[in-house]
Structure 1
Amino acid sequence: MLPSVTLPTLLDIEASGFGRGSYPIEVGLARPDGSSCAFLIQPLEEWTHWDPKAELLHGISRGRLAREGYPVRQVARWLNDELDEIGIAYSDSWGYDNTWLSLLFHHAGMLPAFRLEALRMLLSEGQLEIWHETREALIEELGIYRHRAGEDARLLQLTYQRTRELAGKG
């Protein structure tokens, strides 16, 4: 029997849109033990950009953020508490997620206690070749609701795990 491999910590961010002025509205993590969690983020007053197409994808309204979101500083503190010891998290959309993460920490007046890296760095050629079909199969098989940060982070982690097994790495 092969030794069990520790799963990487995956981070995903949902945002108000993709254009200039967009900001993070939800951050989610999938931890090495396979558990996941997510927090909605209360937009700051100056965060006014809102793309209705993005809302159609993630299903999170501005009103819900105002009611259920956590203050920026609290979310940044939570991320540091979660990731300080691990020191690293991975994202499949590093360019976007790193920009939104930087914005979050800047407005929280804090520095991240971890670094965000591209998930692609962990993937073998074999994993890359079967990534998309494996992810789609998992969505179907597990009935995963896409475009929510915690669910998407866990989906990435499960896809990593399955592609690793299928590509013969264990």
Structure 2
Amino acid sequence: MEASGIHEGSYPVQFGWCGLDLEPSAILVKPEPEWTPSLFDPNAYEMHGISYDAAHTLGEDAEVVAHKLNAALRGTAVVTDNQYWDGLWTARLADSTGVPILFGYNDSTNMASTFRDIYDPWCLDRRGSLFEAVDRFYPHTHRADEDALRMATRTRMLIDRDWSEWLLARPAQQPVARRPFRLR
């Protein structure tokens, strides 16, 4: 998830999610009337490249976003790298739209216990190299869909030996330079 900033009154501007199929999805949120430009921290744009104007012009109505999120994620526990802020911004979406959120969050630090029974021992033995490969090929970009993909790869690398072998065998490549947000 990306937001207008990390401060009181900040609000969501982009939600992203990705399953273990590694097919990410994202949705840009049009700010609600009370989500004003004055609450949009300029440093947020520096982080994720999404401006208030881009969210306002290209984003979908917040109520539509809430319904789409529920349709895609209903009954799941979404893995997050910051349960506090992601939960706060999701609650802000629910409060602003009146649409109850039908999914929850599981902090990524709890994943070891969540998936312990299905981890592949071969993958666990190589987790240091696997984390390095994920960092190389799936960098933390502060784009909701790309960061959701990164979170999914960090789970899949420990349960899918074939995929992990492929990941470790991939030749190194130069990271792609980030571009400003554009509608894809």
The bucket for the TM-score relative to the shorter chain is 0.7 to 0.9
* Long gaps (5+) in structure 1: 1-12
Same amino acid, percent of matched pairs: 30
Q: Which has the higher strand share?
A: 1
Residue type of the partner of 2:86?
Answer: D
Q: 1:99: which partner in 2?
A: 88
Larger radius of gyration: 2
* Equivalence for 2:54: 64
> How far has the Cα of 1:18 moved from its partner?
0.2
Deviation of 1:87 after TM superposition, in Å, equals 2.8
CA deviation map 1:114-150 (0-9, x unaligned): 22221222225997xx67x7555324235x5711000
Match of 1:22, as an amino acid? S
SS in 2 for 1:117: strand
Partner residue in 2 for 1:7: none
Provide the residue aligned with 2:137 in structure 1. 141
Structure 1 residue aligned with 2:103, among 100, 106, 114? 114
Displacement of 1:110: 1.3
How many residue pairs get matched?
149
C-alpha separation in 1, matches of 2:130 and 2:82: 18
Conserved? CA contact 1:14–1:147, under 8 Å? yes
SS at match of 2:157: helix
- For residues 153 and 20 of structure 2, the distance between their equivalents in structure 1, rounded to whole angstroms, comes to 11
1:14-42 CA-partner distances (Å, limit 9, x unpaired)? 00000111100000010243211000101
**68-77 or 103-112: bigger deviation:** 103-112
**TM-score under structure 1 length normalisation:** 0.77
The CA distance in 1 between the partners of 2:34 and 2:44, in whole Å, is 19
Matched residues in 1 for 2:72 and 2:148: separation?
14
Q: Equivalent of 2:146, from 137, 143, 151?
A: 151
Mapped to 2, the partners of 1:38 and 1:17 lie a distance apart of: 18
Q: Which residue of 1 aligns with 2:17?
A: 29
For structure 2, which runs of at least 5 residues remain unmatched after alignment? 117-122, 162-184
What is the TM-score with the length of structure 2 in the denominator? 0.72
2:64 aligns to what?
74
Higher RCO (Cα < 8 Å, 6 or more apart): 1
Q: CA separation in 1, counterparts of 2:42 and 2:131?
A: 26
Partner in structure 2 of residue 20 of structure 1: 8
- Equivalent position SS for 1:99: helix
Any conservation in 2 of the 1:135–1:155 contact (CA below 8 Å)? no
